[in-house]
Amino acid sequence: MSERRELYRGPNGESWYLGREPATGNAFVIHQPNGPSGGQLSHIALGAFLEEGTKERPEQRALLRLIATLVDVPPFGTRGVPPEND
Protein backbone atom coordinates (compact mmCIF):
# COMPACT_ATOMS: atom_id res chain seq x y z
CA MET A 1 0.00 0.00 0.00
CA SER A 2 1.39 3.42 -0.91
CA GLU A 3 1.50 6.47 1.32
CA ARG A 4 -0.02 9.63 -0.14
CA ARG A 5 -0.50 13.36 0.44
CA GLU A 6 -3.20 15.39 -1.28
CA LEU A 7 -1.84 17.93 -3.75
CA TYR A 8 -4.99 19.31 -5.29
CA ARG A 9 -8.75 18.75 -5.35
CA GLY A 10 -10.45 20.03 -8.48
CA PRO A 11 -13.79 21.84 -8.53
CA ASN A 12 -15.36 18.82 -10.21
CA GLY A 13 -14.28 16.48 -7.39
CA GLU A 14 -11.21 14.85 -8.93
CA SER A 15 -8.15 14.59 -6.64
CA TRP A 16 -4.40 14.53 -7.16
CA TYR A 17 -1.98 13.08 -4.61
CA LEU A 18 1.75 12.72 -4.23
CA GLY A 19 2.32 9.07 -3.46
CA ARG A 20 5.30 7.10 -2.24
CA GLU A 21 5.82 3.38 -2.24
CA PRO A 22 7.17 2.61 1.26
CA ALA A 23 9.12 -0.47 0.17
CA THR A 24 11.10 1.33 -2.54
CA GLY A 25 10.75 5.03 -1.68
CA ASN A 26 9.68 5.75 -5.27
CA ALA A 27 7.40 8.79 -5.63
CA PHE A 28 4.60 9.24 -8.15
CA VAL A 29 1.38 11.18 -8.68
CA ILE A 30 -1.97 9.50 -8.11
CA HIS A 31 -4.99 10.81 -10.00
CA GLN A 32 -8.38 9.89 -8.58
CA PRO A 33 -11.18 10.87 -10.97
CA ASN A 34 -14.52 12.03 -9.61
CA GLY A 35 -17.21 9.39 -9.17
CA PRO A 36 -19.50 10.39 -12.07
CA SER A 37 -16.65 10.24 -14.62
CA GLY A 38 -16.30 6.50 -14.11
CA GLY A 39 -12.54 6.79 -14.56
CA GLN A 40 -9.99 4.57 -12.88
CA LEU A 41 -7.36 5.56 -10.32
CA SER A 42 -4.02 6.06 -12.08
CA HIS A 43 -0.38 6.32 -11.03
CA ILE A 44 1.81 8.69 -13.04
CA ALA A 45 5.60 9.03 -12.89
CA LEU A 46 6.65 12.48 -11.64
CA GLY A 47 8.49 13.38 -14.86
CA ALA A 48 5.60 12.33 -17.06
CA PHE A 49 3.14 14.25 -14.87
CA LEU A 50 5.15 17.47 -15.14
CA GLU A 51 5.65 17.03 -18.89
CA GLU A 52 1.91 16.51 -19.55
CA GLY A 53 0.32 19.46 -21.30
CA THR A 54 1.00 22.89 -19.94
CA LYS A 55 2.69 23.81 -16.67
CA GLU A 56 -0.29 26.04 -15.97
CA ARG A 57 -2.45 23.20 -14.66
CA PRO A 58 -3.29 23.76 -10.98
CA GLU A 59 -2.32 20.22 -9.97
CA GLN A 60 1.13 20.69 -11.53
CA ARG A 61 1.57 24.03 -9.75
CA ALA A 62 0.56 22.35 -6.47
CA LEU A 63 3.27 19.70 -6.90
CA LEU A 64 5.89 22.34 -7.72
CA ARG A 65 4.89 24.38 -4.64
CA LEU A 66 5.23 21.28 -2.46
CA ILE A 67 8.67 20.52 -3.90
CA ALA A 68 9.72 24.12 -3.27
CA THR A 69 8.94 23.73 0.44
CA LEU A 70 11.74 21.16 0.64
CA VAL A 71 14.39 23.76 -0.19
CA ASP A 72 15.68 26.09 2.50
CA VAL A 73 16.20 29.38 0.68
CA PRO A 74 17.85 32.30 2.47
CA PRO A 75 16.14 35.71 2.41
CA PHE A 76 16.19 37.43 -0.98
CA GLY A 77 18.88 39.93 -0.01
CA THR A 78 21.45 37.23 0.82
CA ARG A 79 21.07 34.89 -2.15
CA GLY A 80 24.36 34.18 -3.80
CA VAL A 81 26.31 36.12 -1.20
CA PRO A 82 29.06 34.03 0.36
CA PRO A 83 29.16 33.92 4.17
CA GLU A 84 31.41 36.47 5.84
CA ASN A 85 34.71 35.29 7.24
CA ASP A 86 35.16 36.25 10.88
User: Is residue 83 in some structural domain?
Assistant: no
Number of structural domains found in the chain: 1
Residue 38 falls within a domain, yes or no? yes
Instruction: Answer yes or no: pTM beyond 0.75.
Output: no
In a domain, 49, yes or no: yes
Give the tens place of pLDDT for each residue, 17-64: 999 988 998 999 999 999 888 889 999 999 999 988 766 789 999 999
Cβ atoms 30, 16 nearer than 8 A: yes
Sheet holding 15-20, edge to edge: 3-9, 15-20, 27-32, 42-45
Q: Where are the beta strands (DSSP E) in 1-86?
A: 3-9, 15-20, 27-32, 42-45
Dihedral (Cα; 50, 54, 55, 57), 10-degree rounding: -100
